[in-house]
Amino acid sequence: MTENFDYSLIDWSRAQFALTAMYHWVFVPLTLGLGFIVAIMESIYVKTGDPAWKRITKFWMTIFGINFAIGVATGIILEFEFGTNWSNYSWFVGDIFGAPLAIEGIMAFFIESTFIAVMFFGWDKVNKKFHLLSTWLVAFGANLSALWILVANAWMQMPVGMKFNPDTARNEMHNFWDVLLSPMAVSKFTHTISSSYLLASIVVIGISAWFLLKKRHLVFAKRSIVLAAVFGLVTSLFTILTGDYSAKVIAKHQPMKFAAFEGLSVGQRGAPLVALGIVSSSPDDPNNENVKDFAFKIEIPNFLSYMAFQDFDAFIPGVKDLMEGNEEHGIMPAAEKIVRGRLAINALAQYKEAKKAGNEVQQAEAKQILDENFQYFGYGYFENNPQGLIPSLPLTFYSFHIMVMLGFWFLVFFALILLLVYKNRISTSRFWLRIAILNIPLAYIASQSGWITAEMGRQPWVIQDLMPTMAAVSKLDSNAVVVTFVLFALIFTTLLIAELKIMFRQIKNGPKAGGN
């Protein structure tokens, strides 16, 4: 390779985007889930006419509003960073990536911004049914907004429905429905929103548990817990099902990420699922920082193969298979992909030169070579660093297992809470009420771990197989990125502290108009 990359710039640009995305995701999942919880609460109020449900609705609506406002602010910054820090990426895929983001702004954000005013300020100004409709539309709009953003993200993980235009060096939309309905988009959206509903349920139960421990607003707290526990139990089951579907999609389309999930160094038939493990250097290659093995692990025999392909004896490729190739299972070695990637990159350059010179024959020959090898285009950047194709196995492994273990724990927790409610012991079970409060940070850890798994597991790709992160970054002074990183860190931390203070004050005040 002749390209010279400023890896300091790349690392700081990645760090800044990760910082913004992770802060943004502190606010978003609660907004996605709480919107529907509030809508259900208001539906009960409209159905029963019970003023207690109105107080409950208005309290949780306030919590929703606090998160919504700050989530919008961080989200806008996140979208601007595609242009400022990742301009090469934006150029390469702007015709595709920009479409769902534009729809999100025109359609989803329009619905939210139109009806959120009625939702918050329309009490006693519009009739109950129209207010209820506005609340449902805000909840629907928030989730519709998430849909388009997640479709864009899913396309980065599985680029479909497009054609590469060598004249502009851009990928152009060819089939919108392939982009919208790809297996990756479906799994990404369903798993992300269901896990957000789970998180919101945990937050509602945790805050309500605090009221029960303080013996304040008991009716409010009990009703909130019952509704959130039912909502959480249903959505946690859905989260597990969508997570299982997501794993199958990833096993098929992102095998390196799937191997990283389980720290699978060498592929095998009947691959076991590592339920618990400690990652260490591989004994076969202790100097290799990328390929890892285990110092300790507890396995479920054959279950990884079944999880991926519904076959207990299916072959699951490991990191070494994907790097060195496996002829028996039709896996091309990374070295061959790199060669084909270089052919594609060189063919694009030759196509441009031939077009400039007006040589149609050479132009056609170059385009044919480009078309034949374009699916490996991104591999051409790794001629001198093939090991860069391997993601961080320890980080991906641990984040994946933290997410999965906490997801199953929350399912058990919701069932226990409903059992305590059924036995009329929820108010006196102080141990479980304290556990409910402690579950709130655990839910956020699980949520963040999911995104770390998804995004770090696909590294080094910003677009799977087509564009590595190092080729996507803007040509900036790395010092400028460092400065903005520090500024964003201070601003986002200040926003988070402010949000927590406002939320804690609201929780301390409790629902208005009295309470039991």
For residue range 138-148, what is the model confidence (pLDDT) as tens digits? 999 999 989 99
pLDDT over threshold 90, residue 292: no
In a domain, 164, yes or no: yes
Strand (E) or helix (H) holding 467 = strand 467-468
pLDDT over threshold 70, residue 355: yes
Q: Which of 162, 268, 310, 220 is nearest to 516 (CA)?
A: 220
Kindly state the average pLDDT of the residues 71-86.
Answer: 83
Q: Mean pLDDT check: name the lowest of 149-158, 220-229, 275-284, 433-442.
A: 275-284
Q: What pLDDT is attached to residue 295?
A: 80
Q: What pLDDT is attached to residue 290?
A: 53
The residue count of the chain comes to 516
User: Rounded to an integer, what distance in angstroms lies between the CA atom of residue 33 and that of residue 234?
Assistant: 13
Percentages helix, strand, coil for the chain, rounded to the nearest 5?
75, 5, 20
Mention every residue, 6+ apart, whose C-beta is less than 8 A from residue 16. 81, 85, 481, 484, 485, 488
The angle that helices 183-213 and 128-157 make with each other, rounded to 10 degrees, is 130
pLDDT in tens, 392-403: 888 999 999 999
Contact 396, 483 (CB under 8 A): no
pLDDT over threshold 60, residue 291: no
In a domain, 195, yes or no: yes
In a domain, 287, yes or no: no
User: Rounded to an integer, what distance in angstroms lies between the CA atom of residue 402 and that of residue 293?
Assistant: 18
Mention every residue, 6+ apart, whose C-beta is less than 8 A from residue 315. 267, 268, 269, 271, 305, 329
Q: What pLDDT is attached to residue 81?
A: 86
Kindly state the average pLDDT of the residues 254-269.
Answer: 92
List the structure tokens of 194. 């269901």
Q: Percent of the chain, pLDDT > 90?
A: 73
User: Rounded to an integer, what distance in angstroms lies between the CA atom of residue 330 and that of residue 291?
Assistant: 21
In a domain, 324, yes or no: no
pLDDT over threshold 70, residue 69: yes
pLDDT over threshold 70, residue 515: no
Three-class secondary structure of residue 142 per DSSP: helix
C-alpha distances out from residue 228 to 222, 250, 422, 469, Å: 10, 31, 14, 40
N-terminal to C-terminal alpha carbon distance within the chain: 71
Chain centre distance of CA 426: 34
Q: What pLDDT is attached to residue 345?
A: 95
List the structure tokens of 224. 């909130």
pLDDT over threshold 70, residue 513: no
pLDDT over threshold 80, residue 86: yes
pLDDT in tens, 366-408: 999 999 999 999 999 999 889 999 998 889 999 999 999 999 9
Which is more confidently placed, 97 or 344? Answer: 344
pLDDT in tens, 102-112: 888 777 778 88
Mention every residue, 6+ apart, whose C-beta is less than 8 A from residue 159. 93, 96, 171, 463, 464, 465, 466
Q: What pLDDT is attached to residue 2?
A: 44
C-alpha distances out from residue 277 to 294, 394, 513, Å: 7, 10, 52
In a domain, 502, yes or no: yes
In a domain, 379, yes or no: no
How confident is residue 416, by pLDDT bands cut at 50, 70 and 90?
Answer: very high
User: Each residue of 369-378: b (16+ CB within 10 Å) or e?
Assistant: bbeebbbbbb
Phi-psi region of 270 (alpha: psi -120 to 50; beta: other; left: phi over 0): left
Kindly state the average pLDDT of the residues 293-322.
Answer: 90
Strand (E) or helix (H) holding 27 = helix 7-48
Mention every residue, 6+ apart, whose C-beta is less than 8 A from residue 476. 9, 13, 84, 85
pLDDT over threshold 80, residue 284: no
Per DSSP, what are the bridge partners of residue 165? 170
What total of structural domains would you count in the chain? 1
pLDDT over threshold 90, residue 512: no
Mention every residue, 6+ apart, whose C-beta is less than 8 A from residue 340. 373, 376, 379, 380
List the structure tokens of 429. 């079970």
pLDDT over threshold 80, residue 500: yes
pTM over 0.85: yes
In a domain, 65, yes or no: yes
Strand (E) or helix (H) holding 468 = strand 467-468
User: Rounded to an integer, what distance in angstroms lies between the CA atom of residue 3 and that of residue 15?
Assistant: 22
DSSP per-residue string spanning 44-93: HHHHH--HHHHHHHHHHHHHHHHHHHHHHHHHHHHHHHHHHT-HHHHHHH
User: Rounded to an integer, what distance in angstroms lies between the CA atom of residue 363 and that of residue 355?
Assistant: 6
Kindly state the average pLDDT of the residues 154-173.
Answer: 92
Q: Average pLDDT of the chain?
A: 91
List the structure tokens of 147. 């849909």
pLDDT over threshold 90, residue 466: yes
pLDDT over threshold 50, residue 286: no
In a domain, 438, yes or no: yes
Q: What pLDDT is attached to residue 71?
A: 81
User: Rounded to an integer, what distance in angstroms lies between the CA atom of residue 494 and that of residue 229?
Assistant: 32
DSSP letter at 331 equals B
How confident is residue 1, by pLDDT bands cut at 50, 70 and 90?
Answer: very low
Print the domain residue range for 457.
28-259+388-509
Asked whether the bond before 511 is cis by omega within 30 degrees of 0, the reply is no
